[in-house]
């Protein structure tokens, strides 16, 4: 039985979270095929019975790993309605810097590698990564731009090309470069630079 955290202490991970965390670490170290459910259960300190109560198959565990990492790349986007251009710029610059850092997190890149490795056998993993990673970011930005249009900050028109422009300038080939092992140092300063550039371009093309 898991004990409750004391006041002021962080909550202990749930059994399901421990399984996902242990599985991701083993998949990264050994590869998916070489990792057994027994090894995952042992690393997570749960019984195989409890593991299969949480996940019906090893593929389901892998899917949960990919889904978690896809969610991890998402910077929070507060969808307050921007009342003016400076507010929109501030929101986009903050979000863009966080997103650019998020997509290059080693655990996110590891999820991409796992999805690529398993694509011939489990193609839905790539779809999960796309929907809960890239498309979630796209939809969040598009929703923000619609709010900006309603406030008269952006010109009327489809927001999808606007969101696509912003994300293309912000991210570009960054994920591919990391997958290929090209990891130029830059950190938060570089992330802010790209976010500012993408935001300025968006406002220049579509601002009122």
Instruction: Report pLDDT for 86.
Output: 95
Has residue 3 been placed in a domain? Answer: no
| Crossing angle between the packed helical segments 58-72 and 37-44, to the nearest 10 degrees | 60
Q: Are 97 and 191 in contact (CB under 8 A)?
A: yes
Of 174-178, 184-188, 198-202, highest mean pLDDT: 198-202
Average pLDDT, the chain: 86
Residues 176, 99 share a domain: yes
Q: Are 97 and 195 in contact (CB under 8 A)?
A: yes
Has residue 5 been placed in a domain? Answer: no
Has residue 9 been placed in a domain? Answer: no
Has residue 79 been placed in a domain? Answer: yes
Residues 38, 125 share a domain: no
Residues 126, 48 share a domain: no
Cα–Cα distances in angstroms (integers) from residue 182 to residues 2, 162, 178, 191, 197, in the given order: 43, 28, 5, 16, 22
Structure confidence by residue, pLDDT tens digits, 154-165: 999 999 999 999
The whole-number average pLDDT for the span 51-78 is 81
Of 9-13, 27-31, 113-117, 166-170, highest mean pLDDT: 166-170
The CATH number of residue 39's host domain is 1.10.10.60
Has residue 202 been placed in a domain? Answer: yes
pLDDT confidence band for 53 (50 / 70 / 90): very high
Residues 185, 86 share a domain: yes
Residues 120, 48 share a domain: no
Residues 183, 86 share a domain: yes
Structure confidence by residue, pLDDT tens digits, 13-46: 899 999 999 999 998 888 888 899 999 999 999 9
Instruction: Report pLDDT for 15.
Output: 93
Residues 189, 92 share a domain: yes
Instruction: Report pLDDT for 205.
Output: 95
Structure confidence by residue, pLDDT tens digits, 115-135: 888 888 888 878 877 887 888
Cα separation, 170 vs 51, whole angstroms: 40
Angle value at C-alpha 114, between 23 and 17, nearest 5 degrees: 30
Residues 173, 87 share a domain: yes
Number of domains into which the chain is organized: 2
The CATH number of residue 88's host domain is 1.10.357.10
Range of the domain at 89: 69-206
1 has a pLDDT exceeding 50: no
pLDDT confidence band for 147 (50 / 70 / 90): very high
Residues 74, 129 share a domain: yes
Residues 188, 161 share a domain: yes
């Amino acid at each position: 039985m898991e004990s409750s955290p004391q006041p002021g202490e962080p909550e202990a991970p749930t059994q399901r979270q421990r399984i996902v965390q242990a599985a991701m670490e083993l998949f990264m170290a050994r590869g998916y095929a070489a990792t057994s459910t027994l090894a995952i259960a042992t690393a997570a300190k749960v019984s195989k019975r409890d593991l299969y109560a949480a996940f019906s198959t090893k593929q389901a565990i892998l899917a949960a790993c990919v889904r978690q990492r896809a969610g991890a790349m998402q910077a929070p986007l507060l969808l307050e309605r921007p009342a003016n251009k400076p507010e929109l710029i501030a929101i986009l610059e903050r979000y863009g810097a966080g997103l650019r850092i998020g997509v290059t997190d080693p655990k996110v890149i590891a999820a991409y590698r796992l999805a690529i490795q398993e694509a011939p056998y489990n193609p839905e993993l790539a779809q999960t990564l796309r929907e809960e990673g890239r498309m979630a970011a796209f939809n969040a930005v598009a929703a923000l731009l619609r709010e900006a249009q309603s406030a008269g900050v952006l010109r009327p028109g489809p927001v999808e090309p606007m969101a696509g422009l912003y994300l293309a300038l912000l991210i570009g080939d960054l994920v591919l470069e990391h997958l290929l092992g090209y990891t130029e140092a830059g950190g938060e300063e570089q992330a802010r630079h790209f976010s500012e550039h993408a935001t300025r371009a968006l406002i220049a093309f579509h601002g009122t």
